[in-house]
Structure 1
């Protein structure tokens, strides 16, 4: 593990943080993903980035989330991390920070936003390769009140206890969506999952975590599970993967190869998520990508 001096946050901004938070920042700053993608080398692949923005409140880390505007063409009203598709010539870090500025007004080049690491790439249901960027917000009391949701993209900005991804019981102290209501119609109190058959990932396990609005689920949940396990140095209490599910680098390599073949042969890219809709209805396809 790297020392606290190697955290890319000025030492004076670490004053007052809990030991647990310092440990999380240290582990994240030391992380090197087991797979990296050079955007310039994959011009024919759909790439995107999301920002996992962490801050401390009452000695514990929270993660900033958004609810997508109900007028959005895809996944309206669902919980998401700030982020979006990559523009030509951008890096994953540049995309994540730009999208956060556009969606929630997070200042660009802010002295209070400190990039800690990037995570391994993920694949969405639409074969979009997503690069998560983890950053720490060192002055939440100054920055958060000035954030503003984009009228066209974001319905609201909220947060969730980061460690609750590892132990959902930690969310019990939150003001959560009503059980049995629009946003949590499940028998379980805090966490629910469904295994969805697909042609190319095997069986995809769709996680849902109860939150203050729509649940944290799908790709957003997967990214946060990875980030939380790295930060706290332990595994989540939820069973993450379905038996024989294709995960990690294997799924990304499949999409990269399919995109390369499609570009050279002018044929469609990887198929398979259509089976989700056939097996579980159209809503399942949307859930898996969120």
Structure 2
């Protein structure tokens, strides 16, 4: 079954062959189908993975949060946030947030929706739906501006480097030992976090060096998944922790059982003692990591 979203043939033909193949794989992707309609809609969110071809490679648009914010200042994010009741779907959520955060024009005819991925889980138990899109007019990038008080920087990163971090070595990366990359490793590291309340599972927190702050947490997870589909290959590093839950359905099952036990319905908000150690994102942006 092909994607319900259409990319104009002339846009695909304008890509180098390898990128054309990658976009085609994303268009044909069928995400894990899970019924989460009984989960509070106040905990639904969407993020935009905006891809574009530059110098023959696919790159993804990213931001850093304003450094003056109290929560997660300076951390890397995909444009996105909670779904508004007036949003028709998560595609509208993602593009609306991109307009508000970086000034991407609403209903921009050169931003083509490719597909959506399965839901990812945020630390605050938001269910985050990534929307993948392809930008065919790169001139709009020159018009983007960070939303004051919300976004500090707008930058990009090679998508395939989320599978092989050495591909980012050619970038003008943040200096090792700086506030943007405090780790001793050159390009990538990870740590495993035990989640006894989530079926005794483990979560692997990946961190990638970039030209800005480290790409990590849920943002990294979404981009790894996007790259795996696009390039049809696995990571050059150990992707999963030994006991990590790699699909959405089992996590949702735990959340719904907890809701039922607590008697929550509708728009109820939930927390757990270890909520900050699931996937590491801020409830408003659905993208910033919270370190354990």
TM-score, length-scaled by structure 1: 0.87
Match for 1:58 among 55, 60, 63? 55
1:106 is displaced (CA, Å) by 0.7
**Separation in 2 of the partners of 1:135 and 1:267?**
31
Whether 1:224 aligns to 2:223 is yes
User: What per-residue deviation string (whole Å, max 9, x for no partner) do you get for residues 112-162 of structure 1?
Assistant: 00000000100011111101100000111x210111110021001000000
Distance 1:15 1:153, change over 3 A: same
Cα root mean square deviation, aligned: 2.7
**Separation in 2 of the partners of 1:273 and 1:35?**
27
Matches within 5 A, 1:207-286: 207-249=206-248, 250-259=250-259, 261-262=261-262, 263-264=264-265, 269=270, 271-273=272-274, 276=277
Distance 1:120 1:267, change over 3 A: closer
Tell me which protein shows more helix as a share of its residues. 1
Whether contact under 8 Å (2:5, 2:115) holds in the other structure is no
1:72 is displaced (CA, Å) by 2.4
**Separation in 1 of the partners of 2:266 and 2:78?**
34
**Separation in 2 of the partners of 1:63 and 1:208?**
16
Structure 2 residue ranges without an equivalent (≥5): 279-287
TM-score, length-scaled by structure 2: 0.87
Whether contact under 8 Å (1:64, 1:81) holds in the other structure is yes
What is the count of residue pairs matched by the alignment? 278
**SS of equivalent residue, structure 1 residue 136:** strand
**Separation in 1 of the partners of 2:132 and 2:140?**
17
Matches within 5 A, 1:1-290: 8-37=6-35, 41-43=38-40, 46-90=43-87, 91-140=89-138, 142-201=139-198, 202-249=201-248, 250-259=250-259, 261-262=261-262, 263-264=264-265, 269=270, 271-273=272-274, 276=277, 287-288=289-290
1:35 is displaced (CA, Å) by 2.2
**Separation in 1 of the partners of 2:52 and 2:80?**
18
Distance 1:245 1:288, change over 3 A: farther
Whether contact under 8 Å (2:13, 2:20) holds in the other structure is no
Whether contact under 8 Å (1:48, 1:131) holds in the other structure is yes
The worse-fitting range, judged by mean Cα deviation, of 195-204 and 23-32 is: 195-204
**Separation in 2 of the partners of 1:2 and 1:20?**
19
**Separation in 2 of the partners of 1:25 and 1:71?**
37
Q: Which has the higher contact order (CA 8 A, sep 6+)?
A: 2
Distance 1:242 1:95, change over 3 A: same
**SS of equivalent residue, structure 2 residue 176:** coil
**SS of equivalent residue, structure 1 residue 234:** coil
**Separation in 1 of the partners of 2:49 and 2:159?**
10
**Separation in 2 of the partners of 1:26 and 1:268?**
38
Whether contact under 8 Å (1:82, 1:103) holds in the other structure is yes
**Separation in 1 of the partners of 2:79 and 2:174?**
21
Structure 1 residue ranges without an equivalent (≥5): 278-285
**SS of equivalent residue, structure 1 residue 222:** helix
Residue 281 of structure 2 aligns with which residue? Answer: none
1:241 is displaced (CA, Å) by 1.4
Whether contact under 8 Å (2:50, 2:60) holds in the other structure is yes
**Separation in 2 of the partners of 1:109 and 1:193?**
38
